[in-house]
Amino acid sequence: MSTPLSPEQRGNLTLITGVIGADTHIVGNRILSMALEKEGFKVVALGALTPSEDFIKAAVETAADAILVSSLYGQGELDCRGFKDMCIEAGLEDILLYVGGNLVVGKQAWDDVEQRFVDMGFNRAFPPGTRTPDVVAMLDEDLYAKAKGAAA
Amino acid sequence: MTAETALLIDFGSTYTKLRAIDLDAGTILGAGQGPSTVTSDVNVGLDAALCDLEKQLGVLPDFTHRLASSSAAGGLAMITVGLVKELTAEAARLAALGAGAKLIGAHAYKLTEKDAAAIAAQAPDILLLAGGTDGGNEETIRWNAEKLAAAKLGCPVIVAGNRVAADDVADTFRDAGIDVRICGNVMPEFNVLDVEPARAAIRDVFIERIVHAKGIDKAEARFDAVLMPTPAAVMEGARLLAEGSDAYPAQGPLIVVDVGGATTDIHSIADGEATEGGVIQYGLPEPYAKRTVEGDLGMRHNARTIVETVGLENFADESGFDAETIESFLAAIEADVERLPSNDDETRFDTALACAAVGRAMVRHAGRIEIKQSVTGPVTVQYGKDLTKIETVIGTGGVLVHGDAPDEILSAVLFDPAEAASLRPKRPKLMIDSAYALYAVGLLAGVAPDAALRFAHNNIAAAAANPKDEHHGHSPAA
């Protein structure tokens, strides 16, 4: 299967990554950032301990196409509350929003968790153990669709 | 063979000041002063100052270099415009301050027509327009250019934003008949600061345009060049001292504190990276050569604000004066901002004011750490520059040079265990520049760096050894 986006197209797309809130778990996020960069995307990696407003400020200044929020310590639901509203407030109503990691505490059905984050305005949520190629494939698909939508 | 000499001229807002320097010996030959006559004919003040200098020297030498700086007609007034307040808008602000500008406005995000009209009415000397990383947001810088062009901005514009939009933005200004030039982005990539191209562009515009606009070029046959705004000379001097020359070793990272009547300025030449392990650096990285200007901490024009900033009670405790006495001193200063202390109590009061101003200015300039709680335990986060390991702090300005307690005032920059989050210097050597040598060093840095440093080493002394009555130099920054 060929990817919908060429390396040149990916090079024109800017992604913001970071670990939200008081969360220091940087390893997974760094692996993801490196993988996305290797696949040709322009990546602005904000790293650990990133307040939600900093994701948005970075996205405004770099005219980013997507924000990928990581959360590993179980507080993701609290940290991500109002994230989409803040994006709209900053003029980023169309930006693609992903979230992934250990998003909630305890054993909860993934479908419920996913739905909760979709309801909060994230386009996609990813469970623990997601492989980077899967994220890349989703990004390709969503960003391609977005570009086509914008052209139409 | 006659000695190499330099004539340094400062076209100030009150005085035209001259200094003649023996470059071989690294000493001051003499100083002269005349009125500031920039509003009529700059030559008149210069003639008076030269006459004054000639009286001291007997005969004027044939100067090897004749260099000038200017802070006349309000200094180099600038307005900066960027996108996100903490990102490109802040980068633009830092670039303008570092170039020695007097910042009269700093804007972020999209300007309204009203904003643009207000900016045009403020009539800055230069407007610095940033916004967007390279390849990032283009919309805002284009928008702001349209608004500013439509508002008939009357000053040159330097475009230091998203390079993708820069040419179009420049065309917008050009079409409106506005002088414009493009330089490198102040933030080419997210959180990467690159203020040097903007600073160089500001310097160029200053030399080409502002010197003419302020009428200083009427005397241009009489000096080689007006190199920079006066505050930039202090920064350049500090930079040369920190970095050294062929003949003089680098002094290493340092801080310069300049306490003036209207502002307290702090310069740091240091990368400011964390000196403790395990610290996470946060926010915009700050420039290696950073200048802050505290417009609310001037010894004369806002003495009251200094007291208010530290709190009347604290100030009373620290100074030993009661509230009533403090009020009477403040009233006396407000009635006459040219006032100099006339008795011991007034001198002590000035020392207390200076301590408070220097302390607050240093806290604002230095970085700080915060302890953040995370699930894995506390984490130390650093904002701004860590200056704890700085080894040299140089003080200048009237109250440090002419007052009776320069050590005490300069000690206000030091790290305070009670305010341990503020990353101020812990064990620096305190020096006093009683001859305003740094200013001269900055002007000479480009043409005679070795001589400039010889002069610096002869004239900047350890604070404790500072002879009180040494005031052969005239303040260039009045």
User: Is residue B250 classed as helix, strand or coil in its secondary structure?
Assistant: coil
CB contact under 8 A, B87 and A57: yes
Kindly determine whether residue A61 and residue B282, on different chains, have CB atoms separated by under 8 Å.
no
Does the CB of A108 have a partner CB in chain B at under 8 Å? Answer: no
Cβ–Cβ below 8 Å for B135 and A48:
no
pLDDT surpassing 50 at residue B451:
yes
Complex ipTM more than 0.85, yes or no: no
Q: What percent of chain B has pLDDT over 90?
A: 71
Residue A92, amino acid: L
Give the A:B interface size as CB pairs under 8 Å: 60
Q: Which of B87, B375, B381 is closest, CB to CB, to A61?
A: B87
Express each pLDDT in B220-272 by its tens digit: 778 887 788 888 999 999 999 999 999 999 999 999 999 988 899 999 999 99
* Residues B348, B345: Cα–Cα separation, whole Å: 5
Please indicate whether, in this complex, the C-beta atoms of A60 and B376 are within 8 angstroms of each other: no
- Residue B12 is predicted with a pLDDT of 82
Q: Which of A61, A102, A105 best probes binding to B when mutated, by most B CB atoms within 10 angstroms?
A: A61
From the CA of A38, how many Å to the nearest CA of chain B?
A: 18
- The whole-number pLDDT of residue B171 equals 98
Sort out which chain B residues have CB atoms less than 8 A from A27's CB and list them: none
At B464 the pLDDT is: 65
Is the pTM here over 0.90, yes or no? no
Nearest-by-Cβ selection for A61 from B84, B282, B374 = B84
- Whether B132 sits inside 8 A of A24 (CB atoms) is no
Mean pLDDT of chain B: 90
Looking at the partner chain, which of B88, B373, B376 has a beta carbon nearest the beta carbon of A61? B88
> Hey, are the CB atoms on A24 and B374 less than 8 Å from each other?
yes
What are the residue boundaries of the structural domains of chain A, listed by start?
7-151
Three-state secondary-structure class, residue A33: helix
The predicted-structure confidence for B113-126, as pLDDT tens digits, reads as follows 999 999 999 999 99
Residues near A105 by beta carbon (within 8 Å), at least 6 away in sequence: A74
Q: How far apart are the first and last CA of chain A?
A: 25
Non-local CB neighbours of A76 within 8 Å, separated by 6+ positions: A20, A21, A69, A99, A101, A102, A103, A104
* Topology (CATH level 3) of domain B77-209: Rossmann fold (3.40.50)
Domain at A7-151, CATH homologous superfamily: Cobalamin-binding domain (3.40.50.280)
**Higher-pLDDT residue of B60, B218:** B60
pLDDT one-digit tens code per residue, B128-182: 999 999 989 999 999 999 999 999 999 999 999 999 999 999 999 999 999 999 9
Between B211 and B53, where is the model more confident?
B53
Phi first, then psi: what are they for A98, rounded to 5°? -115, 150
Q: Residue A130 pLDDT more than 80? A: yes
Q: Is the dihedral of CA B267, B272, B275, B276 positive or negative?
A: positive
The answer to whether B25 faces chain A, any CB pair under 8 Å, is no
pLDDT at B104 (0 to 100): 94
Burial class (CB in 10 A: 0-12, 13-18, 19+), B352: buried
Does A57 contact B at CB distance below 8 Å?
A: yes
Q: For B108-177, list the strands marked E by DSSP.
A: 126-129, 157-159
pLDDT tens profile A84-112: 999 998 889 999 999 999 998 888 999 99
B376 touches chain A (CB under 8 A): yes
Residue of A44, A60, A75 with shortest CB distance to B137 = A60
The predicted pLDDT at position A152 comes to 65
Question: Residues B445-466: what's their mean pLDDT?
Answer: 86
A49 in contact with B at a CB cutoff of 8 Å? yes
Q: Is residue B477 pLDDT above 50, yes or no?
A: no
The CATH number, out of the four listed (3.30.750.200, 1.20.120.430, 3.40.50.720, 3.30.420.40), of the domain defined by the range B5-73+217-223? 3.30.420.40
**C-beta atoms of A42 and B135 within 8 A:** yes
Higher pLDDT, A19 or B13: A19
The predicted-structure confidence for A42-53, as pLDDT tens digits, reads as follows: 999 999 999 999
Highest mean pLDDT among A48-52, B75-79, B143-147, B340-344: B143-147
* Residue B1 pLDDT exceeds 80: no
Sheet holding B264-269, edge to edge: B289-294, B264-269, B254-259, B392-396, B429-433, B460-462
Residue B278: its pLDDT value, please? 84
A62 — phi, psi (to 5°)? -100, 5
So what's the pLDDT on residue B116? 97
Stretch B412-421: mean pLDDT, rounded? Answer: 95
**Partner residue facing A57 (CB), from B86, B138, B372:** B86
Could B374 and A62 be called an inter-chain contact, meaning their C-beta atoms sit closer than 8 Å? no
Q: In what order do the strands lie in the sheet with A42-45?
A: A42-45, A14-19, A66-71, A96-101, A124-126
